[in-house]
Structure 1
Amino acid sequence: METSNLPAINLEWGTDMTTDTTTHSNRLFEFHPDPTWTVDAQGALLTANRAAQAEIGQRARLEELFVPEDLEKVRDWMMRAEWEQTPQNGRASLLGTAPGRGDAHCTLIPASEGGGSVIFFLMVRVVEETPDAETLEQLRETQELLEAVFRHSREAMGMFDVDGTILRMNDAFVSMFGYSREELIGRKVPVTPPGALQEEVYRHFDAILNQAVPYVEFETVKLHKSGHLLDVQVTLSPIKKRDGVIVAIHGISRDLTDAKKTQTRLIQAEKLSIAGQLAAGIAHEIRNPLTALKGFVQLMEGGASFNPHYLQVMGAELNRIEGITNELLVLAKPQANQMTRRELASLVQEVVTLFESLANLRNVELTADLEQGLPEMNCDSNQLKQVFINFLKNALEAMPCGGRIDIVLRRDGHRAHLAFADLGCGIEPDVLARLGEPFLTTKENGTGLGFMVCKQIIENHRGEVRVESEVGKGTTVGIWLPL
C-alpha cells in the first residue's frame, strides 16, 4: 500500500512533546484503520493516511470529500472544535465513494501546528447500516411476493445466464414446452427451432447484453417437446447488479397459438362475408352478358341468318365475363408472390413511360417527381405494376378533356410514399366513403373490382392505400410501402 508523499507535520500535543512521542503519533496517524486527514482552517487536506488513500483516494480539499449539502455542517464542526478545543462528532455523506458507502461517522480533533496555527485531525468511519426488524420483515415480504409472482404466473417465465443457459423456470414454462425442470436446468433450452429463428434470438440476447435497448419484445415460433410448433410472444429484459452489470436475462413467453387460430377464423369469416356480398354482384354482373349471349343463341336456333356482327358482340360479352372472373380469382386467391429486390423509383418510371404516349393523345401532362436512391424493397414487381397501371388509368379517365397528373415518390420514415394526383372531376363523398365495396364503380363499363384487387396487393406487401378527393378539383391516391 502506498504511503502519502506529503511531508509529515509535527504536532504539539503539549509543552513536553518529545521526539519519540512525535514519531509514535505519526505512526498512529499513518496506520490508523479509519481514513484520516490533517486539515487546515481553510479546508485544505494536508496529509492523508494509508486508509484514506486506499479507500477514498486522492482529495485536496473538503469540497472534494463531502457532498455539497453537508459541507457547511463540517465547517461548523471545525469552528466549534477550535472555539471549544474539544473533538466534534457527526454524520456526513462522502462524495464520489463506492455505491452504498457514502454515509460516514466523522470526528474532528483540534491540534496546534508548530507555528501556532490551528489544524485538525479528520477521521471518517463508513457507517454500515444494520436493517431493523421492520425493514427485514418488509424485505422478506417483498421477496416472497416476487417469488409468488414468478412461480404462479400464467405466463411462462425463465431466468437465463448471459450465455443463454437456463437457471430457473416457473410451472407455466414447464407446462408450455413440455419439458421437466430436470431436463432443462443448466442447459441451453431446446425450444427454439434451429436456423433463422435461433439466430434471431441470439441477436436479441446480444442487444440486451450490449445494453443497446432496455428490453426486447418480438413474436416468434417455439418448439414443444412433442414436436409441434407454438406461436409465442417473447419479452426479454436484463437483470442487473447494483453496479449496473448484467448478470442474467429474464424471459417471458406468451402462447399466441389459440389467439392466432381465432384470428385465422375471423379472417375466414370475413372472407365468407365478402363472398356473400360478392355473390349478388356476381349474379348481376354476369347475368347481363349471359342474357345477350342467350338471345343470340336463340336467334340462331330460330333460323336467323348468320351475321358476323353477332360473333363480335358475343365475343365482347364473353370477354367481359372472363374479365370479371379473372379479377375475382385474383381477389379471392392471389397468385404466389414472385418476390424480388427492386428500386421503387425505376418501377414507377417504367409505368409512367408506358403511359406517356396515351397521355399525349388525351392532352394530359404527366409529371413524375421520383426520389432516387431509396433502399430496394422486396416486392412482386408485376403485381405492383398492375396497381400503378390501374391508378394511372383511372386518373387519365377522370380527365377526358385533358389536364395534369402528378406522380410523386418520397421517403416517409421507414416507408416509401407514392402519390397519384389528378385534376379530374373528383369523387362524390358518399361514393368515396364506400370505395372498395365490390362492384361499386363510377365508370360506365367498370366492374368495381379493380380498386379491391389493388388494395389487396398493397396490403399483401404490408402497405396501405388512402384516397382523398374533392368534387371538381381532383383525386389523390396515396400508397405507403415498407422499405
Structure 2
Amino acid sequence: MDDATARSRGARWFGALTRVMDMGVVLLAPNRELDFANAPACSLLGYETPDELKRHWPEFRHLFEPGFERAADERSFPLDVELTNGGRTRKLRFELCRLDEPTCDGLLALIKDRDMLDALDDELALAIQMRGLTHFYMEVVHDLKAPLNAMVINLELLKDTLTPGEDSARYERQRRYVDVLGEEVQRLNHSLTSLLTQTPRLAEASQRFDLCDLVQELAALLSPSAKAQNVTVETTIPDERLPIVGRRDRLKQALLNVAINGLEAMPEGGLMGIALRRDGETACIAIRDSGPGIPAEISRRIYAVHFTTKSGGTGIGLYVARSVITAHQGTIRLESTVGAGTTVDVTLPLASAAD
C-alpha cells in the first residue's frame, strides 16, 4: 500500500471517528489553515458546515496562534478562549496536541464548551457531597427510630387514660388531638423506615381516597400552630365526596408544605382560608393567607429548589410540593399581591368510577 492510499484510508477512518464524537475536532496545517472540522466543531464556532467555517477561517486563525507558539515546546496543553459571534459570547476550551508524524503534521484541537465542563464539575462535586450526606442521614435516622417508637407507645397509653367525664365535647377534642398526633407519628415512622431501607417514598402504593377527609386532616394539623399565632383557619368543604387516586401521604405533605408557608407569613396573626370545590372532573383547592404578599421578582423563583427568603429555611418545601402535585397530574399556581396576601391554587383530577 503506497503512502497516498494509506493517507486516504486514514483520513476516512479519522472522519468516521470524529462523526460519533460529542466534542469538536479541528485539524490545522502548519501554515495555520483549516484542514478538517467535524460538525460539533462547526457548531461550537458558530457555523453550520465545514465549508462555511473555512470561508470565515481568517476570523479564527488568531485564536490558535498561542497554540502554535506553545507547540514548539509542549506536545499537548489546554487553551481557554472566549469567542464572540453574532452578539453571543461563548467560552471554549481547546485541548491542543502537536502532530509531527511523517504523514500528519500541524495541530489537533479538541473543542469543548467551557460552561458545560463547569456544569459537569459542579454536578460531580454535588454527587460527592450527597454521597457523604447519605451516610450521615442514615445514622441520624437510625438514632431517631428509638425515641419515635417510645412516642408511639406513650401516645397509646395517653389515649387509654382519657375518660369522657362530664365534658363530652372536651373529651372528643382531646381524642381527636391524640389521634392526629398518632397518625403523624406513624407517618413519620414510615418515612424514616423508608430511608433506612433505602426504599423510595414514591414506592408507596396509590390508593383511592376522599380529598374532603384529607383537607379536614390538614386543617386539624394546622390548628394548634394557627391558634398559637392568633391565625383563624377557615375551611370550605363540599358535602359530596371528592375521590382521587394517588399517594395519600405524599399529597398530604405537599399541601401541608404550602399551608405552613402561609402560616409563616402571618407571625402576628391573620386569616387562612382552605377551600375545596369541584369543577367538572377536577378538584380545586385554594389555600389563602392574609400575609404581606410576595413581590413579583420572588414569586417567579418560589418553586426553585433551595430558594428561600427565610433564615434557616431549606428552600425545598414548595419545590417538593410542586413535584408531588405534578406527579398526580395536577397543577399548582400562585397569585400574590404585596400588602394583600397570597393564594395558592391546586388542581387534581378526580377518580373515575373505574379507578
Structure number with bigger Rg: 1
- The structure, 1 or 2, with the larger RCO (C-alpha pairs under 8 Å, 6+ apart) is 2
Give the number of the structure whose residues are more often helix, by fraction: 2
Alignment TM-score > 0.5, same fold? no
